Structure 1
Amino acid sequence: MDKKIDIGEYTSLVVEVLEFVNSGKLLKNSNELSFGDDVVTDLSLAKYFAWDKLYGEDEFTWADLRSEKMAEVWDVIYSDEDRYSLIDDNISNIMDEISRTIQSQLNEQHKELLDDIVSDIKGCLYSRAVKGKRNAFFECILSIYRKGGWPCGWEGNWPNGKAIYYLNIK
């Protein structure tokens, strides 16, 4: 990404996410598993966890949980009109480029994950733009991507439990 971005106080944290996206390490196993990680190596099972399985008492899908966590970020952004404009202008202007960069890193087997990955990265960018590293959910998502994984579900009731993620070990 060639564009400069300046969203204020947390610019360097947003740039860190952009640098990761540009690193070419997306879905590349980093061999940095942590004790207690809940890893799925079967892509079909990971897609089931991500798109079909219901979680918790409220029976949310993984997409619902991600959307709920993003709504919390939007609440913070919308509460300050000037800050909202600065952040949204900077990040929304580079989302097409981010999407193309992500798409170029996905092999044929992973192409259908594009929308989820772009959405997750967008969530990480906006979260860091308004809260720095203080959003546990999106920091967890980013950590999984840095390990080479794809976050696809949750074991337990948020915030208790742990993320489930797909790792391509082939």
Structure 2
Amino acid sequence: MSSSPVLSPWSLNQPEVPGSLELLLTLAIIGMLGPGLFYAVIAMSISGWTGYARIIRGMTLSFREMEFIEAAKCLGTSDRYILIKHILPNVLSPVVLLATLNMAGAILSLAGLGFLGLGAQPPTAEWGSMLSDSQGLIFSAPNGGLVKEMEVI
């Protein structure tokens, strides 16, 4: 018999719904701040910074042990100079890559919040609020709702 590992929501590889804790925290923050696009973006930023911090910390710790950092220390350069000139440029590209990959999820999360009425408010056009408005038309004019649903998908 093989024993399968027990995965908790706090482990690094979240098996079922990745980002579910972030979504719950985002909903809680928006519940405190109120609906609106600005508050939705603030809440998503507060709940989504941990992935970026993990990448930055891991990359910084790995670069700390590399030879060019040790060579710069031997030359007598300050820690600030090493951080700005050597570590920061090397850490920046994975952070930009992670931000690019997370952009689609952020757009869909904002659409979901807009669908619930917690995102952009009615004068502002937004996918989630447009889907919410077209719910009543699904039987009388299904083409209008289907087009908007396909845009989100």
- Normalised to the residue count of structure 1, the TM-score between the two structures is 0.27
- Indicate the structure with greater helix content: 2
Say which one has the larger Rg.
Answer: 2
> Which fold has the larger relative contact order, with Cα–Cα distance below 8 Å and residues 6 or more apart in sequence?
1
- Normalised to the residue count of structure 2, the TM-score between the two structures is 0.29
- Indicate the structure with greater strand content: 1
